A = this chain, B = another copy of it.
């Protein structure tokens, strides 16, 4: 018996979240989804979009629940992983996640931003193992693009 690979764990999470693993993630403007500088890899801010739909919108703590926000954070993290896989050819080429910043569109008195970010952190650790443990900053913002409840970006280092 062999342990599941990163690719297999990613596929299992994708199935659980309704996330299409083979979809190419397109962007609209004059920017990049991913930029590489040596073995440092920057990933643009991701909102919880699946195909053309932002699947979790609204203000967390006022209409949108903590659980929904954690789900949003997972979808954002899956998108970031999909971009890294597309760029590097394989999730196995992620040597270490270095930095994750998690922005939560929240209510005035909502203070569980870390718990929202945990949704992403748990998923990244589950799929990547210790390589998925990044430094993290979680903050509560006033709004996000397309009324998304969560946005996150990453800096990683690659083994290629």
| Residue positions of A touching B, CB distance < 8 A | 28-35, 37, 39-40, 42-45, 96-101, 103, 105-114, 117-118, 121-122, 124-125, 132-147, 151, 153, 155, 157
Contacts and interface: CB of A to CB of B under 8 A. Distances in A.
Contact of A135 (B98, B108, B132, B153): B153
Contacts of A106: 142-143
A111 B146 contact: yes
Q: Tell me the number of copies of this protein.
A: 3
9 contacts: A30-B118, A32-B133, A40-B98, A101-B153, A109-B147, A111-B147, A113-B143, A135-B153, A139-B151
B145 A44 contact: no
A43 B147 CA distance: 29
A31 B142 contact: no
A112 B143 CA distance: 10
B42 A98 contact: yes
